[in-house]
Structure 1
Amino acid sequence: MGESGRAMLDFFNILNEITMNMTKLVIWYNPIGIFFIIMNKILEVPDLEAAARSLTMYMVTGLLGLAIHALIVLPTIYFTLTRRNPFRVSLGMMESLLTGLGTSSSAAALPVTLRCYEEKLKFNKTICRFVLPIGATINMDGLAIIQAVTPIFLAQMNQRMLAFADLVAISLSATLASIGAAGVPGTGFITMLVVVAAVGLPVEDAYLVLTVDWFMMRMVTMVNIYNDSLAAGILTRYFTLTPNSEEP
């Protein structure tokens, strides 16, 4: 439309700038709000030493679950289905894994993941570009593990015994919530609140987990990226004649 459409173009450009400025304000004030939320929960804890020990065991349990999944379960599945060395994929994906560790976002690491798969591992581009973006969106098995551990930790902290039905509800809620979580930082804690509420635990107690959430989510992101990579490798093995093939 030329100059006659300039007013509409300027309107959306200004609207975009307003949105970005509002987002920047939220990002800058967010750490302050989280700090006071955490401090409020810490001050409410009657025995700070016991709470610190509980949080430490929570981290150990979560990290152990992630380690078993990433170092035993996933490589076993990959080797069983492809008869190939899964740790070769790990070495090829090291740059992507470190990016996930630094950003805590599988979506932010996606371009690096694609480059590692296509340039270093020489796997099928068509399959990678189809599988990896989907995996970065809905395949959050690492997050599901932490979301299952957290309600159990909060139940123990509140001295509540969970029935078998509660454990089933936690498993189903954690799986569904992890599928619905976006691959960006911070969404894991929001979906975690859904899982906590599903079994009737006090949601406000979950804010205590924020003290270690920043570290745990980075470990979760690495597991998610690794799982997506192995999934793409399995599909490459079954839908291409050779790993170097450019066509499915």
Structure 2
Amino acid sequence: MRKIQLGLLSRIIIAILIGVICGNFLPLPLIRIFATFNVLFSEFLSFSIPLIILGLVTVAISDIGNKAGKLLLITVLIAYGATLFSGFLSYAVGSAFFPGIITPGSSLAEVDKIPNAMPYFSISIPPVISVMTALVLSFTLGLGLASMRGGALKEVVNDFQVIIVQLINRVILPFLPIYIFGIFLNMAHTGEVYSILIVFIKIIGIIFALHIFLLIFQYSVAALFVKRNPLKLLARMMPAYFTALGTQSSAATIPVTLEQTKKNGVSADIAGFVIPLCATIHLSGSTLKIVACALALMIMQGMPYDFYLFAGFILMLGITMVAAPGVPGGAIMAALGILQSMLGFGEAEQALMIALYIAMDSFGTACNVTGDGAIALVIDKITHKENYMK
């Protein structure tokens, strides 16, 4: 018989549902087994986060630097600007609407500290380096390697990236559904789960509406440059959008995105440069999701969420997630470090962020790749205008 393959999203949804159901009737000794697993997995995750940042971000920055040139600089600035815009848009809309639909004061941290569901034991696994040290070291090494041609250190960094990718794919992601199951098991046991699930549904609805608005806005801006109908330009990119919904991968969608971008009138050489590059550095949809989910969880717990705190977080998030698209679930994995260091997210908050993010992963990826086509239109117009002036 054919083996049924379940994707990560399917496994996480199943884990949440089973956790909610089992939390109502499982005896305490069994619940404490999963609480023990969660404590151990959380320690390992905290240990892994700086290594994930170091392994992914270093190579991403060094690879971008190898493609030096004016076209690269323009593309990176526009892509980064678009990513920042989506982050600040998400914060503005979330801070306006979320307080009306979320009741503050639900401390998720209490879920892991309930007296009745304490772990049987725990083991401390201190990280080798701090998150901020890993970020600074990644930027330093990445920029240094970008100015070098090959070398032994470059090979070491590439090999380390392979190890980190295997760590994510073979250890963290396979055990993630069990971890999230344990979180929702504890929530159901304490009666917190139902209010949180209702908030989840509302947040997902608002984020989806924001995705649609963001794409229309991006193509409206591009239409101002090329003087064409933005809705027609966007409609022509729909095959890329729906391909990304199915593949959940920016890289796997590149051939379709490239073809549809050319059909929008972008020259082959510009499309061939911009689309693969933006598949790595342009993450408007992913940034929008992470900012909205983080904001919602902070409001839920009554934590401060002032503009200056989120401004720094969004600026750093745009840089950190450059490494994300090459790895399934990589965007949220790369973001965990700054969620922890800049926003103070603990184990429960990180688990909920992962669950929320993956629940909308395909829509975020679709938003990212479709927006790449808008950036290509702008770059093509700027480049042709410069050539004409010469």
Q: Structure 1 length as normaliser, TM-score?
A: 0.77
| Cα distance in 2 for residues equivalent to 1:82 and 1:122 | 9
Deviations 1:146-192 (A, max 9, x none): 12112212212322122333222222232222334234421111123
Structure 2 distance, partners of 1:70, 1:183, is 22
Q: Partners of 1:183 and 1:104 in 2: how far apart?
A: 11
Verify: 1:206 aligned to 2:365, yes or no.
no
Unaligned runs of 5+ residues in structure 2 are 1-161, 386-390
- Report the counterpart of residue 57 of structure 1 in structure 2: 202
Between 213-222 and 105-114, the greater mean CA deviation after superposition:
213-222
The CA distance in 1 between the partners of 2:333 and 2:306, in whole Å, is 24
The residue number in structure 1 matching 2:297 is 154
Q: Find the aligned partners of 2:319 and 2:204 in 1 and give their Cα distance.
A: 23
Taking the TM superposition and a 5 Å limit, the aligned residue runs for 1:39-58 are 39-45=181-187, 46=190, 47-58=192-203
Distance 1:131 1:171, change over 3 A: same
Unmatched 5+ stretches in structure 1: 1-18, 242-248
* Rounded Cα–Cα distance in structure 1 between residues aligned with 2:354 and 2:269: 39
The farther-off stretch of 201-210 and 148-157 is 201-210
CA spacing shift, 1:74–1:183, aligned 2, 3 Å: farther
Matching residue within 325, 331, 347 for 1:188: 331
Matches of 1:181 and 1:38, distance apart in 2: 21
Correspondence for 1:174 among 294, 317, 322: 317
Residues 199-245 of structure 1: CA distance to partner in whole angstroms, max 9, x if unpaired?
2121442212333433311111111111110111122234348xxxx
Deviations 1:45-64 (A, max 9, x none): 23111011121122123223
1:86, 1:225 → 2: CA distance? Answer: 16
Distance 1:62 1:195, change over 3 A: farther
Give TM-score, length-normalised by structure 2: 0.51
Q: Flag the 1:32–1:226 CA change in 2: closer, same or farther, 3 A.
A: closer
Structure 1 position 27, deviation (Å): 5.2
* Number of the residue aligned with 1:38: 180
Distance in 2, Cα, partners of 1:179 & 1:112: 21
The 3 A distance-change label for structure 1 pair 200 and 98 is same
Counterpart secondary structure, 2:251: coil
What is the rounded CA distance, in whole Å, between the counterparts of 2:373 and 2:290 in structure 1? 22
Task: State the AA in 1 paired with 2:194.
Answer: E
Report what 2:227 is aligned to.
83
CA–CA separation in structure 1 for the residues paired with 2:307 and 2:260: 43
Q: How far apart are 1:100 and its partner, in Å?
A: 0.6
Which of the numbers 240, 246, 264 marks the counterpart of 1:96? 240
Residue 130 of structure 1: aligned partner: 273
CA–CA separation in structure 1 for the residues paired with 2:381 and 2:306: 42
Residue aligned with 1:201, SS: coil
1:142–1:221 contact (8 Å) kept in structure 2: yes
Summarize deviations over 1:85-115 as a string: whole Å, max 9, x none.
Answer: 1222223222221111111111110012122
Deviation digits for residues 119-161 of structure 1, max 9, x if unmatched? x445310000011111001011111111211221221232212
Aligned alpha-carbon RMSD (Å): 2.7
1:107 matched to 2:261: no
| 8 A contact 2:226–2:381 mirrored in 1 | yes
2:289 touches 2:357 (CA, 8 Å); kept in 1? no
Q: Match for residue 370 of structure 2?
A: 226
Give distance in 1, aligned partners of 2:219 and 2:264. Answer: 16
Letter in 1 for 2:303: R
Q: Take 1:210 and 1:180, find their aligned partners in 2: how far apart are those partners?
A: 17
Q: Which one of 285, 288, 294 corresponds to residue 145 of structure 1?
A: 288
After TM superposition, the structure 1 stretch with the greater mean CA deviation from structure 2, 79-88 or 202-211, is: 202-211
AA matched with 1:234 = V
* Helix, strand or coil at the partner of 1:108: helix
* 1:75 Cα offset (Å): 2.2
Runs of 4+ in 1 over 4 A off after TM superposition: 25-32
* Aligned CA distance change for structure 1 residues 26 and 132 (closer, same or farther; 3 Å): closer
Task: Look up the equivalent residue of 1:58 and give its one-letter code.
Answer: I
CA contact (8 A) 1:193 1:203 kept: no
User: Quick check: 1:89–1:121 contact (8 Å CA) kept in 2?
Assistant: yes
